[in-house]
Structure 1
Amino acid sequence: MQFTTQIPIPKSKSPIDYNSKIVSLGSCFAENMGAKFQYFKFQNETNPFGIIFNPVSIERIIRRVVTQELFTEKDVFFHNERWHCFDIHSDWSNSNKEELLENLNKILKSTIQQLIDSTHIIITYGTSWVYRNNESQEIVANCHKVPQKQFSKELLSIKIIDNSIQNTIDLIKQINPNCNFIFTISPVRHIKDGFIENQLSKSHLFTALPKTINHQSSTINYFPSYEIMMDELRDYRFYAEDMLHPNQTAIDYIWERFSESCITENSFQTMKEVSEIQKGLNHRSFNPNSEQHFKFLSKLNQKIDILTQKFPHIKF
Structure 2
Amino acid sequence: MQFHTEFTPESLPYRIGLNSQIVTIGSCFAEVIGRRLADHKLTVLNNPFGTIFNPVSIARLLTMSLYGTAPDESRYVERDGVWFHYDFHSSLWANSRDELRVLLTNGLERVGEAIRKADFLLVTLGSAVVYRHIETDKVVANCHKMPGSLFEKYVYHIDHLQEDMMRLLKTLRRANPNLKVLLTVSPVRHTRDTLSINQVSKSILRVIAHECSVWNAWVHYFPAYELMIDDLRDYRFYEADLIHPNAQAQAYIFEKFVESAFDDELRGFVAEWEQISRSLVHRPLYGADSPAHRKFLTKLMKQLETLSQRIDVSAELADVRSRLKWERNQEQEEELA
TM-score grouping bracket, smaller chain normalisation: over 0.9
The aligned counterpart of 1:239 is 238
Task: Write the distance in 1 (CA, Å) between the matches of 2:182 and 2:134.
Answer: 34
TM-score, with length taken from structure 2 = 0.90
Instruction: Give the secondary structure class of the aligned counterpart of 1:143.
Output: coil
Task: Write the distance in 2 (CA, Å) between the matches of 1:128 and 1:46.
Answer: 22
The aligned counterpart of 2:330 is none
Task: Write the distance in 1 (CA, Å) between the matches of 2:121 and 2:313.
Answer: 19
Deviation at 1:167, TM superposition (A): 1.5
Deviation at 1:244, TM superposition (A): 0.6
Task: Write the distance in 1 (CA, Å) between the matches of 2:283 and 2:167.
Answer: 50
- Which protein is bigger by CA-based radius of gyration? 2
Q: CA 1:35 to 1:180, structure 2 compared with 1: closer, same or farther past 3 Å?
A: same
Aligned-residue CA RMSD (Å): 1.5
Deviation at 1:72, TM superposition (A): 6.5
Deviation at 1:106, TM superposition (A): 1.4
CA contact (8 A) 2:74 2:136 kept: no
Question: What is the identity, as a one-letter code, of the residue corresponding to 2:293?
Answer: H
Q: CA 1:107 to 1:313, structure 2 compared with 1: closer, same or farther past 3 Å?
A: farther
TM-score, with length taken from structure 1 = 0.95
**Contiguous gaps of at least 5 residues in structure 2:** 317-337
CA contact (8 A) 2:119 2:178 kept: yes
Deviation at 1:315, TM superposition (A): 5.4
CA contact (8 A) 1:66 1:112 kept: yes
Task: Write the distance in 2 (CA, Å) between the matches of 1:232 and 1:314.
Answer: 39
- The 5-angstrom pairing of residues 80-99 of structure 1 reads 80-99=80-99
The aligned counterpart of 1:100 is 100
Deviation at 1:105, TM superposition (A): 1.4
CA contact (8 A) 1:308 1:315 kept: no
Question: What is the identity, as a one-letter code, of the residue corresponding to 1:116?
Answer: R
CA contact (8 A) 1:41 1:315 kept: no
The aligned counterpart of 1:139 is 139
Instruction: Give the secondary structure class of the aligned counterpart of 2:113.
Output: helix
Deviation at 1:96, TM superposition (A): 3.0
Question: In the TM superposition, what whole-angstrom CA distance separates every residue of 1:158-178 from its partner, at most 9, and x where no partner exists?
Answer: 101211111221111121011
Deviation at 1:265, TM superposition (A): 2.1
Deviation at 1:139, TM superposition (A): 0.2
Task: Write the distance in 1 (CA, Å) between the matches of 2:170 and 2:189.
Answer: 29
Question: What is the identity, as a one-letter code, of the residue corresponding to 2:258?
Answer: S
The aligned counterpart of 2:192 is 192
Percent identical residues: 35
CA contact (8 A) 1:9 1:223 kept: yes
Task: Write the distance in 1 (CA, Å) between the matches of 2:250 and 2:203.
Answer: 22
CA contact (8 A) 1:41 1:314 kept: no
Deviation at 1:313, TM superposition (A): 7.6
Question: What is the identity, as a one-letter code, of the residue corresponding to 2:98?
Answer: E
The aligned counterpart of 1:203 is 203
Question: In the TM superposition, what whole-angstrom CA distance separates every residue of 1:127-154 from its partner, at most 9, and x where no partner exists?
Answer: 0000000100010000000011000001
**Structure having greater relative contact order (Cα 8 Å, sep ≥ 6):** 1
Instruction: Give the secondary structure class of the aligned counterpart of 1:37.
Output: helix
Further displaced range: 66-75 or 225-234: 66-75
- 1:171 and 2:171 correspond: yes
Task: Write the distance in 1 (CA, Å) between the matches of 2:63 and 2:180.
Answer: 18
Aligned residues: 315
Further displaced range: 4-13 or 186-195: 4-13
